[in-house]
Amino acid sequence: MESHKKLLLANKAWVADKLNVREDYFLRMANDQTPEFLWIGCSDSRVPAEDVTGTGPGELFVHRNIANQVIHTDFNMLSVLQYAVEVLKVKHIIVCGHYGCGGVRNALSHQHLGLINKWLRNIKDVYRIHRHELDGIDDEERRLRRLVELNVQEQVWKLAETSFVQHAWQEGRDLHIHGWVYDLHTGLINDLLMLTPRTPVDPIYQLNFDDLKK
Ligand code: CO
């Protein structure tokens, strides 16, 4: 059988399973979505957001790209973020990277890979910012694991620097930002950091929304 047909067959079996448990499953699901979490993860096929967190349809609003990047000119990510924060009013944003990330590994190489180099360049910036710590780690694999963690940490701060998050925090919204790293070898998530509402960002990024109220 052609491999894509297996997916369509599996879909039919999945529908049957769901209807077996609740015959109105899809009626309820089609009504509305009220997810509490925005997940920003890597596109890597081995890190399926719902599977590794035991969540199902309706629970996660998901954005995935190579090496879970938060880039301030990426209208795709920004649109997802705005919708999640302002319309869905999620309570948690989770940036989840993963050890063994090919995007992070490639960011350390000097090979020209074409367009993807321009995307991964942002991880070179993470390296440059944390060069002192990273260059002090002799073991290459350990250094790579640490870069994966620092990459997640930087994306978490970049989220806090966005106008959407700052505005939500100034309005007193209960919005937390989490940095996690998934371990492909154990299946476990390493809970790295969490920013609570109104965590101050570097002054250069602080925005004043007073003019909006006039
Ligand atoms: Co990856």
In a domain, residue 213? The reply is: no
Catalytic residue among 42, 63, 145, 178: 42
Ligand 1 ion: Cβ-proximal residues, 5 Å cutoff = 42, 44, 101, 103
Domain assignment of residue 52, yes or no: no
**Banded model confidence at residue 138, pLDDT cuts 50, 70, 90:** very high
The tens digit of pLDDT for each residue in 177-187 reads 999 999 999 99
For the stretch 139-189, pLDDT in tens is 999 999 999 999 999 999 999 999 999 999 999 999 999 999 999 999 999
Confidence of residue 31 (pLDDT cuts 50, 70, 90): confident
73-132: per-residue pLDDT in tens?
999 999 999 999 999 999 999 999 999 999 999 999 999 889 999 999 999 999 999 999
Report whether pLDDT(57) > 70.
yes
Same domain as 89, residue 24: no
How is 66-116 classified by DSSP, letter by letter?
TT----TT-HHHHHHHHIIIIIS--SEEEEEEETT-HHHHHHT-----THH
8 and 41 part of one domain: no
Cα gap 97→152, rounded to integer Å: 6
- Angle at the Cα of 75 (from 79 to 62), degrees rounded to 5? 50
Domain count within the chain: 2
State whether 18 and 42 are in the same domain: no
In a domain, 164, yes or no: yes
What is the CA(171)–ligand 1 centre distance, in A?
34
Q: Is 96 a catalytic residue?
A: no
Assess whether 85 and 19 both reside in one domain. Answer: no
In a domain, 64, yes or no: yes
Task: Specify if 212 maps to a domain.
Answer: no
Q: What's the CATH number where 126 sits?
A: 3.40.1050.10
This prediction has a pTM of 0.94
Q: Are 12 and 116 part of one and the same domain? A: no
* Residue 16, domain extent: 1-31
